[in-house]
Amino acid sequence: MARKMLTLGEVRDGALRNVSFEAIGAAKIASDGGEVVCVLIGNNVKEFGQELIQYGADRVVVVEDEKLEQYTPDGFSQALLAVIETEQPEGLIFGHTALGKDLSPKIAGKLGSGLISDATNLEAAGGNLVFTRPIYSGKAFEKKIITDGLVFATIRPNNIAPLQKDDSRTGEVSSVSVEIKDLRTIIQDVVRKASEGVDLSEAKVVIAGGRGVKSEEGFEPLKKLADILGGAVGASRGACDAEYCDYSLQIGQTGKVVTPDLYIACGISGAIQHLAGMSNSKVIVAINKDPEANIFKVADYGIVGDLFEVVPMLTEEFKKLKIHS
């Protein structure tokens, strides 16, 4: 059944987030041959429209306003609801990002629709769209269908592949004017924690350190390995609690959920709360000096050894491979 699907393009630090392209890929499956329209909300964001077309959007609708410079649930929902009103889509797909997690229940509530959040897959089967999502902290998966109203879902980054970028693809990028009423909250300033390099939740490679790194300086070899592999550094709560790193790096049940292609756990015991945030990574490598550590139960490759010896060795080997490739 062909459906008109709406997705949301997310711009951060002057670039579109990869999950915007993944949402288009998911919407293509959901649209079943129908139209995929991507909405871009912000201030001076129209320049990103063409890239969304190159990733498969049929059309891009842009809402720009100074009041939309920063994300606020109030401002973005006003803009989005106005577009939904004119476009009348049959479904919505957002990224399961901080923004998507905040905005989607508000929109679902306003529209009186259901919402499947944090989907890791979707497929068309027997006239239905079947979404897969992890439950019980990733220990099981459930399959869900929407039987009535809008097909509305958020998708977990790094799970649904975007379409191949096609630079020759063209499409309409149009601006619509929406009157953004006075916002109930105004963001005056955003104070960012100094974050280096790749965004943890979207990274293809994550090098995570636990209490085994022993100090803030102990993270240095992990950062070097992450640099060589173009990855991001993460941490267990053990490492955060010990003040070896910032809580923004915490992965797990009460931290970030990551699903990179490669997760290297260094000096992490593998507590159930940590596994909840990383066990769906595609390939897991664990480095731990305790051969009985629980992390080895979920690891595809295990290295029993001292991380301060193993991590620099890996870095050197990857460096050589990079030089020769």
- Positions touching ligand FAD (CB under 6 A) are 210-212, 236-239, 250-255, 267-269, 271, 273-274, 277, 287-290, 293, 306-308
198 or 239, CB closer to ligand FAD? Answer: 239
Which distant-in-sequence residues (6+ apart) come within 8 Å of 103 by Cβ? 8, 73, 76, 77, 80, 94
145 or 271, CB closer to ligand FAD? Answer: 271
Q: How far is the CB of 96 from ligand FAD (least distance, A)?
A: 17
Q: How far is the CB of 45 from ligand FAD (least distance, A)?
A: 33
Q: How far is the CB of 235 from ligand FAD (least distance, A)?
A: 7
131 or 296, CB closer to ligand FAD? Answer: 296
Fill in the DSSP letter of residue 119.
E
Q: Are 53 and 173 in contact (CB under 8 A)?
A: yes
Q: Are 287 and 310 in contact (CB under 8 A)?
A: yes
Q: Are 82 and 176 in contact (CB under 8 A)?
A: yes
3 or 256, CB closer to ligand FAD? Answer: 256
Torsion of CA 244, 247, 249, 250, to 10 degrees: 100
Percent helix, strand, coil in the chain, to 5, is 35, 25, 40
Q: How far is the CB of 43 from ligand FAD (least distance, A)?
A: 35
Count CA within 13 A, CB hemisphere, residue 173: 18
Using CA atoms, how far apart are residues 277 and 135, in angstroms rounded to an integer? 12
Q: How far is the CB of 227 from ligand FAD (least distance, A)?
A: 20
25 or 255, CB closer to ligand FAD? Answer: 255
